[in-house]
Structure 1
């Protein structure tokens, strides 16, 4: 495959990083003296090697900020094995400025008290505080899709009447197969909406509707996570494809972390809806208001 790509004058993204790594790795003078990396938990092997190659080999050249609990794009691998050893040099930030105490506390129950990476670095989630309060997250478990759509639509209609702007609302589902349910709920509330590909409407007065993976890094006053059904979270297709118990554990972990990422996009209000019995993950949200 690599030979065929080269013969066609093409490169994969990883190949681009590998070529740049080879180029800069052989140079004494590096293009940067210091590098700050955000969302570091989603770095891949090729990207991390590239960062090492473009910075000098000093103890303070690389600074990483990230959250192991939000790793949804990459399988874990050893940073130490690539020459980046942060053991004993890391710290956990404990003040949350974006998410209410109630939403953060509920979402944190999706993750273990300690998240550990391949190199043994631990992220302890206990002791974190938020700087403001809000209502408890709400769950809407209905008998069928039509009832769920109606319930979510009515909630959105009430939120609009309370003064929520459409641009302050995000509706997310696990995969494209459930997008129709989110659009239908927005239709019940007469809520103007846009998708991730509607770039021309980014600043318009409309709610964002999309899949959970693309919600990462965003923030809304109100987030609705729809279609959190038993066979959707974790996604049935991913579970069916696993080869062994180890791979199953990895799938369940990343599905749980994806749910965590989507839930923590909410600043003030979080609504989780599903068709009964709902995802097993919902039970971890102890104290949800029905």
Structure 2
């Protein structure tokens, strides 16, 4: 019986199609299910048509509607067709005539390349050659290339290259799996690592697959082609909102998320868009199937916005409400609050904003101390609270790891007196810091017993050591106790930690994801320019440097757009024009995000967009029509989220980096460097929320983080 598989290239463009076109796809798919092959080829409504002058005789078009055509891969034998793209009539013919299909001799998977575009690009690529540079793949033999699945046609083409820029021009048009292999080789990966990480799990041991084996080859291409067998599944896929793709698990991530058991804490790290959060969500789904009676799972993250996003994603991934009710989705601060709110936990109100520095200034004034509020605050957080120190003697002998300001041993008693006074002042006013509350919660849980069978942590890079102590206490040591997802490159809060020092060893149970499935290569490369060359500390002591140059994206699109405005009002007017162009291009308002450094500018943007008749919402608030309104929020609030199109405003000197977020270098040079890196990471995080298009603007002098 004929069947119509769906290529991922088509699936990723679903949201751009209007409802009548989607209905046409369903009608065409039904005909493939209901008609025999001869009937299918003779059906006048479907109108399966060969293309004149096509590079591949297997490429055909089918009628989707009066004006729209689907480009399909139709082999000479076998009954599995693949829908590659849906375009207006003339565009479909022009695009389809340039495509060429093959079966990879290593993985036995179907591959499609834009052979016409590759030929047209060749002269422009040649112009980028740098005469004095050696060939790009001079250290990789033809035999190794073929072992990794690179075919002779691709090999002939890439042997002429001597720069990564040349390869990136070809990249959108090469077979996806071969392109991935070449990108990793070009960035310095050894052949053995590329084989083990990218190819080995996809390899097929059969001797040969020809045209007669095409049906089976489609089934060997799960990362690119989906076989849908039920009408309701296809309709659900076509109706799926953009947000639902956030829970899609790429086959290469399957083994990480659904490994039967990890014999201890496990960690998955990776750059932006590599699917860490998706893997964590699927890990929760896997663990739910193994819970015993009365056992529960904690899924935790850093901010309330992220927790709300995780709840919604979990609802899509686990439709059974009874199962979901066994998962607590909480921030670590919310968990600490719940623990401390129990009888005997105390009744203290956490400090907010800059209140901590106000208390430290009071202590300084009372005791006539020579230090700044920032110095004492950081000494307390990074040394005393981080190490759980509770006495002057313990503090006197403690290491001040990570502190860049000198402190003579003779001055430590004076600092400890200041810390004791700070604690007393807070206690007298029934106040506490968030970290104090986490420390109290960790002590209470240690004394009363574990809370969960499994703990899954997202955005792990921003947690403080005392918060890790709480999580460690919340779950018993053993198989599948902690599953940790994070990226040091996205650390935007002032927390650094060694998991091993806290009794959380992930040795032998650590995985790094290196392929971006969210942002285009252009967005990733542009954004990474803000971080490359600046060191970032990992979570595990043995963790390799998380250099962004190793992360690649299979998606390609427009180069990020930048705009220099004449003033704040002009910047907002330019934003309105940019948002209107996105809306006119068919982007849903809910697929657009606007990030700002400060909340006050976000409110001004909300007012102007509202006056212009564009639906808008504050990112930090849940509203009924949230999915159909442009989201506006601070860069911090955008952490962990994604949108088709993102605008980042106010990227000017004086805002990014924000001087008040930086410790004065004369107070602590090392802390100043860390604060500056956090500001870089903040802008990086905001920019990499974009899936397809990124727009960055400023007025006045641009931020030093933006390269010219």
Please say whether Structure 1 and Structure 2 have the same fold, judged by a TM-score greater than 0.5. Answer: yes
| Post-superposition CA distance 1:195-230 (Å, at most 9, x none) | 135423453521111111111121111100011111
Question: In the alignment, which residue of structure 2 is the partner of 1:249?
Answer: 673
State which structure, 1 or 2, has the greater radius of gyration over its C-alpha atoms: 2
Among residues 569, 587, 593, which one is paired with 1:170 in the alignment? 593
Question: Could you tell me the TM-score, scaled by structure 1's length?
Answer: 0.84
Contact 2:594-2:647 at 8 Å conserved across structures: yes
The 5-angstrom pairing of residues 1-290 of structure 1 reads 2=423, 13-26=434-447, 30-58=450-478, 60-86=480-506, 89-112=509-532, 115-117=536-538, 119=541, 121-122=543-544, 123-179=546-602, 182-183=605-606, 186=609, 190-203=613-626, 205-239=628-662, 241=664, 243-283=667-707
Provide the aligned length of Structure 1 versus Structure 2: 283
Instruction: Give, in whole Å, the separation in 2 of the partners of 1:140 and 1:12.
Output: 41
Instruction: Give, in whole Å, the separation in 2 of the partners of 1:88 and 1:202.
Output: 45
Cα distance, 1:240–1:75 mapped onto 2, change above 3 Å: closer
Instruction: Give, in whole Å, the separation in 2 of the partners of 1:17 and 1:130.
Output: 38
TM-superposed deviation, 1:271: 0.2
Cα distance, 1:3–1:251 mapped onto 2, change above 3 Å: closer
Question: Could you tell me the TM-score, scaled by structure 2's length?
Answer: 0.37
Structure 2, unmatched stretches of 5+, are 1-421
Cα distance, 1:249–1:120 mapped onto 2, change above 3 Å: farther
Instruction: Give, in whole Å, the separation in 1 of the partners of 2:426 and 2:603.
Output: 38
Instruction: Give, in whole Å, the separation in 2 of the partners of 1:264 and 1:145.
Output: 23
Which protein has the bigger helix share? 2
Instruction: Give, in whole Å, the separation in 2 of the partners of 1:143 and 1:31.
Output: 55
Contact 1:92-1:124 at 8 Å conserved across structures: no
TM-superposed deviation, 1:55: 2.3
Structure 1, unmatched stretches of 5+, are none
Contact 1:153-1:188 at 8 Å conserved across structures: no
Q: Which has the higher contact order (CA 8 A, sep 6+)?
A: 1
| Post-superposition CA distance 1:23-49 (Å, at most 9, x none) | 43246x744343221111121222200
Instruction: Give, in whole Å, the separation in 1 of the partners of 2:623 and 2:647.
Output: 23
Instruction: Give, in whole Å, the separation in 1 of the partners of 2:606 and 2:697.
Output: 14
TM-superposed deviation, 1:251: 1.5
Task: Quote the RMSD (CA, aligned, Å).
Answer: 2.8
